[in-house]
Amino acid sequence: MRYPGGVTALDDLTLAVRPGITGLVGANGAGKSTLIKILLGLLTPTSGTVRVLGLDARGQGELIRARVGYMPEHDCLPADVTATEFVTHLGRMSGLPSTAAKEQAAEALRHVGLHEERYRQIGTFSTGMKQRVKLAQALVGDPGLLLLDEPTNGLDPAGRDSMLSLIHRIGTEFGIAVMVASHLLSEIERICDHLVAIEGGRLLRAASLDSMTQALPWLAVEVDEGLDLLEARLTECGLTVSQQPTRRQLLVRLDGDPVFDTVRDTIADLELPLTRLEHRRHHVEELFAGALSESSAQEALL
Ligand SMILES: Nc1ncnc2c1ncn2[C@@H]1O[C@H](COP(=O)(O)OP(=O)(O)OP(=O)(O)O)[C@@H](O)[C@H]1O
């Protein structure tokens, strides 16, 4: 995709996205919004092919938009109408008859937790509530796919958590495929089945989250106090232990089932306040740190 004026926003980007929740991650300017607009048929790529739910995004954008819910990144809500009026109106715009639009608007607003506030003017809403209205309008019309562009923008940590839980629920309980764009990998990896990472308009990596976070043979142990004592005692028991001082954590090598029991019993014997006992997995961010330094654009299928 080359914009008039010569900016190449996407290049050499080949991927397939399966049902489930897919995170589209990349820094600001990586090309996420451009990709979403191409998927919706709102932008026509300079070259290449795009199919969405079996439809050709180049000529069938209107059909795609009828089946896809879209939550844009930027604030685009009228201040002087109620949430119900706005969501109903957009339901009508996407072709629903009046009664169905009203019913679906009420249902969507309930799903996003705005049932009580549905008759309030949007101008009086907090940022979090406005993001929820944007999500509600994307849900109207029984979409088969949701494209969400930076849904946690502008939200505080609690607001981000609840928005992410909501998206996760939509993807799992309602069975709607979701592609959610974010520049915050650490945030989005919590709710995604698949990740697509782009950098400078090129594909960096596309894979299922499971395949990126294979368990490592280490047990992470966190105690509020007594880390040195615990390390010494576990080493005496013949375990391989390394201390992670920055995280106030011990990593204990897992080379057999008794390791769990030994760690548990030792902590109990020493009466230490255990806060975490976890089979260590790769953090997705660590993997991307490697990929980003190689800066390798690679074609991959999910
Ligand atoms: N209408 C446009 N005309 C020219 N260049 C554009 C246009 N829209 C986007 N770009 C450029 O294309 C590139 C990709 O932008 P895009 O908005 O798709 O990125 P993004 O990953 O969504 O970033 P952000 O999260 O900041 O929105 C950027 O270099 C941007 O400046």
pLDDT tens digits, one per residue of 105-124: 999 999 999 999 999 999 99
Helices (H), the chain: 32-39, 61-67, 83-93, 98-111, 127-139, 157-172, 185-188, 209-212, 227-236, 258-270, 284-294
Mean pLDDT taken over the chain = 88
List domains and CATH numbers for the chain: 21-212 (3.40.50.300), 215-281 (3.30.70.870)
Residues with Cβ < 8 Å from 65, sequence gap 6 or more? 40, 41, 94
Condensed to tens digits (0 to 9), the pLDDT of residues 39-77 reads 999 999 999 999 999 999 999 999 999 899 999 998 889
Of ligand 1's listed atoms, the one at least distance from the Cα of 149 is: 22
Ligand 1 pocket mutation pick from 2, 33, 188 by most atoms within 8 angstroms of CB: 33
The rounded Å distance from CA 2 to ligand 1 centre is 11
The rounded Å distance from CA 7 to ligand 1 centre is 9
Dig out the tokens for 61 from the structure: 């954008």
The alpha-carbon radius of gyration of the chain (Å, integer) is: 23
Identify the pLDDT of residue 247: 66
What is the ipTM for the molecules in this complex? Answer: 0.95
HEC letters along 17-41 = CCCCEEEEECCCCCCHHHHHHHHCC
Condensed to tens digits (0 to 9), the pLDDT of residues 126-149 reads 999 999 999 999 999 889 999 999
pTM, two decimals, is 0.77
Dig out the tokens for 33 from the structure: 């919004």
Identify the pLDDT of residue 294: 38
pLDDT band at 217 (very low <50, low <70, confident <90, very high): confident
Condensed to tens digits (0 to 9), the pLDDT of residues 236-291 reads 999 999 887 666 789 999 887 689 899 999 999 999 999 888 887 666 666 665 54
The rounded Å distance from CA 115 to ligand 1 centre is 35
Identify the pLDDT of residue 243: 85
Main-chain phi, psi angles of 143, to 5 degrees: -70, 150
Ligand 1 pocket mutation pick from 2, 8, 32 by most atoms within 8 angstroms of CB: 32
pLDDT (mean) for 95-99: 93
Q: Which residues line ligand 1 (CB under 6 A)?
A: 3, 5, 7, 9, 26, 28-34, 73, 150, 183
Residues with Cβ < 8 Å from 153, sequence gap 6 or more? 73, 131
pLDDT (mean) for 171-186: 90
Identify the pLDDT of residue 171: 93
Main-chain phi, psi angles of 221, to 5 degrees: -125, 125
Of the candidates 296, 200, 295, which has an alpha carbon nearest to the alpha carbon of residue 7?
Answer: 200
Identify the pLDDT of residue 298: 32
Identify the pLDDT of residue 302: 30
